[in-house]
């Protein structure tokens, strides 16, 4: 249910797209809220996430599990080729599929994956509460046609356009193809989750219709990126690995990926977990909220499903 509050009546700790200049703001919220006794992650992993804003695991899913996920990914690819619905996003300069959203609701296979205790348990442990899926998607980056995703903080978009108040959320990705240094793996700036880039400009109406294909608003300026790079806690990191590799990353970490000019596709499954104590309100950008395939309003806490 929507909050009766309006953006103008609330204190906005993370303003963005409100002026002509970018600003680098200190994060006002905790990063890791749970303890080692609250989930599957060991203390070293929690400390790494606290410091760097991400965790990368290879081999979390075995070969049989990966084969099942790949089969479902291929089924969806074939089934949605002619789909013109809003939740099917295509590359900006071609008809190739770029993303398919709401897959945790439309696929029984992926519905179980988002409830897998290895993923769900880690999300609840880091966020320190029950969680729900804010949105889910497959990002297809086909060979020769997959375009880049420019540097951005997911939380900046979710805050301005969806109304998520605080960065008490995270994404978990599962690689469904080999992710190499050549085919556009996701890159993160370690430690950048500790600062928020307040971006210049004003959000156009229905920005999601173009931003899901090519993001032009809510992107950091070069000076802010330089500042984050200089303050980084480790070298620029790429989420490389075989199918089944899992990346967990903070909602506010700065990340992006290059285009794919190789013949090898790079396909990744994403689940965005948000705390049930951090549900969307009116968007802070004073625009109507994005549609529910991007901004889920079912806040029912997820329960783990084994196998």
Enumerate the domain spans of the chain.
Answer: 31-167+186-228+249-261+287-307
Nearest 10 degrees: CA dihedral of 157, 162, 164, 169? Answer: -60
DSSP 147: P
Query: Can you tell me the distance from the alpha carbon of 199 to that of 237, in angstroms, rounded to the nearest whole number?
Result: 23
| List of the chain residues with pLDDT < 70 | 1-9, 203-217, 307
Q: What are phi and psi of 74, to 5 degrees?
A: -65, -35
* Chain position carrying tokens 């997820």: 302
Query: Can you tell me the distance from the alpha carbon of 275 to that of 167, in angstroms, rounded to the nearest whole number?
Result: 9
Provide the edge-to-edge strand list for the sheet that holds 149-153.
149-153, 254-257, 186-188, 237-238
**CA 270 to chain centroid:** 7
User: If phi over 0 gives left and psi between -120 and 50 gives alpha, with beta otherwise, what is residue 202?
Assistant: beta
Query: Can you tell me the distance from the alpha carbon of 142 to that of 119, in angstroms, rounded to the nearest whole number?
Result: 26
- Given a contact cutoff of 8 angstroms between Cβ atoms, the answer to whether 218 and 162 are in contact is no
Query: Can you tell me the distance from the alpha carbon of 153 to that of 193, in angstroms, rounded to the nearest whole number?
Result: 8
Whole-number pLDDT of residue 202: 78
- Given a contact cutoff of 8 angstroms between Cβ atoms, the answer to whether 50 and 229 are in contact is no
Neighbours of 58 (CB within 10 A): 12
CB contact burial 82-110 (16+ within 10 A = b; e otherwise): eeeeebbbbbeeeebbbbbbbbbbbbeeb
Whole-number pLDDT of residue 217: 61
Tell me the whole-structure pTM to 2 decimals. 0.92
* Chain position carrying tokens 């960065």: 167
User: What is the dotted CATH code of the domain comprising 31-167+186-228+249-261+287-307?
Assistant: 2.60.120.620
- Given a contact cutoff of 8 angstroms between Cβ atoms, the answer to whether 296 and 134 are in contact is yes
* pLDDT, tens digit (0-9, with 9 covering 90-100), for 139-174: 998 888 888 889 999 999 999 999 999 999 999 999
Whole-number pLDDT of residue 203: 67
Query: Can you tell me the distance from the alpha carbon of 55 to that of 241, in angstroms, rounded to the nearest whole number?
Result: 13
- Given a contact cutoff of 8 angstroms between Cβ atoms, the answer to whether 171 and 249 are in contact is yes
SS3 75: helix
* pLDDT, tens digit (0-9, with 9 covering 90-100), for 67-79: 999 999 999 999 9
Whole-number pLDDT of residue 229: 97
- Given a contact cutoff of 8 angstroms between Cβ atoms, the answer to whether 198 and 291 are in contact is no
Interior angle at CA 30, CA 223 and CA 244, nearest 5: 80
SS3 150: strand
């Amino acid at each position: 249910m929507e909050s009766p509050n309006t953006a103008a009546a609330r204190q906005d700790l993370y303003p963005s797209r409100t002026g002509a200049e970018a600003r680098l703001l200190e994060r006002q919220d905790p990063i890791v809220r749970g303890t080692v006794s609250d989930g599957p992650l060991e203390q070293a992993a929690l400390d790494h996430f606290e410091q760097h804003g991400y965790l990368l695991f290879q081999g979390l899913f075995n070969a049989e599990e990966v084969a099942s996920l790949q089969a479902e990914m291929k089924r969806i690819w074939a089934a949605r080729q002619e789909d013109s619905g809003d939740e099917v996003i295509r590359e900006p300069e071609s008809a190739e599929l770029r993303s398919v959203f709401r897959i945790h609701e439309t696929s029984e296979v992926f519905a179980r994956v988002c409830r897998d205790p290895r993923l769900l348990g880690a999300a609840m442990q880091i966020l320190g509460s029950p969680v729900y899926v804010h949105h889910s998607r497959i990002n297809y980056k086909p060979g020769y046609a997959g375009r880049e995703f420019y540097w951005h903080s997911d939380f900046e978009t979710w805050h301005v356009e969806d109304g998520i108040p605080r960065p008490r959320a995270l994404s978990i990705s599962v690689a469904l193809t080999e992710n190499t240094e050549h085919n556009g793996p996701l890159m993160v700036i370690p430690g950048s989750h500790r600062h928020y880039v307040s971006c210049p400009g004003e959000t156009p109406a229905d920005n999601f219709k173009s931003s899901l294909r090519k993001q032009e608003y809510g992107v950091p300026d070069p000076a802010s990126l330089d500042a984050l790079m200089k303050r980084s806690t480790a070298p620029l990191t790429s989420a490389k690995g075989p199918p089944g590799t899992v990346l967990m990353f903070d909602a506010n970490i700065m990340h992006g990926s290059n285009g794919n000019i190789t013949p090898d596709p790079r396909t990744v499954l994403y689940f965005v977990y948000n705390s049930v104590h951090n549900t969307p309100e009116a968007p802070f950008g004073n625009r109507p909220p994005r549609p529910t395939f991007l901004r889920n309003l079912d806040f029912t806490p997820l329960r783990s499903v084994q196998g």
